[in-house]
Amino acid sequence: MEKTFAQKVKTELCQPRVERKCCAVAEAYGVLLYAHSFSAKEIRITTASDEFAARLPHLMRRAFGIDFDEPEKTRGVKHSFRVEDPAKLRAVFDVVGNDMKSPSLHINFGVIEEPCCKASFIRGAFLAGGSVTDPAKRYHLELATTHHSVSRETYSVLLEMGFSPKEAQRKGDYLLYFKKSEHIEDLLTTIGAPVAAMDIMSAKVEKDMKNSINRKVNCDSANADKVVEAAAKQLEAIKRIDKLYGLDSLPDKLQQAALLRYANPEASLADLATLSYPPVSKSCLSHRLKKLLTYSPEEE
């Protein structure tokens, strides 16, 4: 089955190796704060991404020197990871500096002081609790967590990085989201998904081209309808004049305009002006055709 755009983004984010210890800690910290469960009793992470599932064990070892309690299990299309061993949990809390006794989670900003660590933190948060819509449909990227304090403090982190997300609440989740394509492109590039950012740019260019073509087609169609409507009125007037007075009653210039229109019922004003002898301007020919609409020999 073909991957969704969000799955492709997460696959790209999992490609860089976990090398610097500080960035490994920051990324793992983002994962934990946006994971299904992170408390003094347990860590539980679930994901449908095979690449993220493969990255997680290496990330936890590099960041905290621990392994998950049980081999990762597969539940349908989702992978599940768990830590309940008190010693392992203590090792994690010692590194991130959070209080195990506190009932609410907060970001320890000392763990993510460097720009590279902030980017790693947001990458981890996105891998665990983020989603992004296919840009061919619309532009929307969000981070969702059940912890209000974590969402508010992540907002501050993003502000420091130069981003201004919107905030919302959906059921039990607190959301930070972006709806402008350029903001999503910049964020994805910053956290390690430049290819996905380019895909959004390409989708935007394609959308703009389609919209431009549609506008032109609609405009051309509207103009064509106007030409047909105007020509029909002119032909009706010419037939009326021919029936009532005869076309010979027309002055030479009006007679030429009438014969041109009668012979070329679908031609545009520009084409008729070119066919005139001698050639005349569009405005001149338009004036003559308008006079036909109300022509009466008595007025000449």
This prediction has a pTM of 0.71
pLDDT given at position 220: 67
Low pLDDT (below 50) residues in the chain: none
Q: CA-CA distances (angstroms) from residue 98 to 3, 89, 108, 156, 220? A: 36, 11, 7, 18, 65
Cα atoms in the 13 Å half-sphere on the side-chain side of 125: 32
In the structure encoding, which two tokens stand for residue 19, read together? 């090398």
pLDDT given at position 72: 59
Pairwise CA distance, residues 11 & 290, whole Å: 66
In the structure encoding, which two tokens stand for residue 184, read together? 């999503």
